[in-house]
Amino acid sequence: MKVDGRVERGEQTRRQILRRAAEIASVEGLEGLSIGRLATELEVSKSGVFAHFGSKEELQLATVRAAAAIFATQVVEPALVVPVGRERLELLLNGWLAYSENRTFPGGCFFYAVQAEFDARPGRVRDAIAGYGREWNEYVRDTAAVVPGVDDPDQLAFELIAFLEMANAQSVLHDDPHAYDRARKAVRARLAQAGTASAAASTTRR
């Protein structure tokens, strides 16, 4: 079936708008978005941008969804090439660090950047940000739960995610050139600790 060229161009424009919106939000927050600014930067009409979203809130929600899709493509999907277990967990965590370190978004992790902006503000945008945050936390926890030696996956996930977010914060705020290497070292040490606990438990049972 032949795709309508106007529809395809419209979808391409929408993707461009959302990509630029996510880049801006990672630095200035979702409140930094405006239909007028995006129209000017992308050289499209205000009415064209407005037609895609209709309101600032809808633009913010669409930006959050677009950032989540990019995150899934860069962090989650590459880890699925290996079976569940420690290797997948390591790929997942290293993928997150690369996503932040390589500045997929100029402000580092998009969700780290916008969560503080909306954490105490009820509404649809906050709910969307919180929802994706829960999904990520649960995915790390569920992945950790099948790693040998992990008897408290909730605690392990909490610690590992804290390492990642600290690296992001230290790099973005303090320009620390060693932040990501320190996080990788911390992740390896924590997973090795879990492996040591597993080996010790196995020896005790013999």
pLDDT in tens, 124-164: 999 999 999 999 999 999 999 999 989 999 999 999 999 99
Q: Write down the pLDDT at residue 197.
A: 58
For the CA atoms of 145, 109, 193, 139, the dihedral, rounded to the nearest 10 degrees, stands at: 0
Q: Are 129 and 120 in contact (CB under 8 A)?
A: no
Copy the structure tokens of residue 139: 């995915």
The pLDDT of residue 196 is above 80:
no
Percent of the chain with pLDDT over 90: 84
Quick one: DSSP state of residue 123? S
CA angle centred on 96, ends 180 and 71, rounded to 5°: 145
Overall average pLDDT of the 171-191 stretch: 97
DSSP H helical segments within 54-178, as ranges?
56-71, 77-79, 86-101, 110-118, 124-145, 153-174
Q: Are 54 and 142 in contact (CB under 8 A)?
A: no
Where do the domains of the chain lie, and which CATH numbers do they carry? Answer: 5-199 (1.10.357.10)
What gap in Å lies between CA 133 and CA 141, rounded to an integer?
A: 12
Write down the mean pLDDT value for the chain. 92
What gap in Å lies between CA 182 and CA 184, rounded to an integer?
A: 5
Quick one: DSSP state of residue 30? G
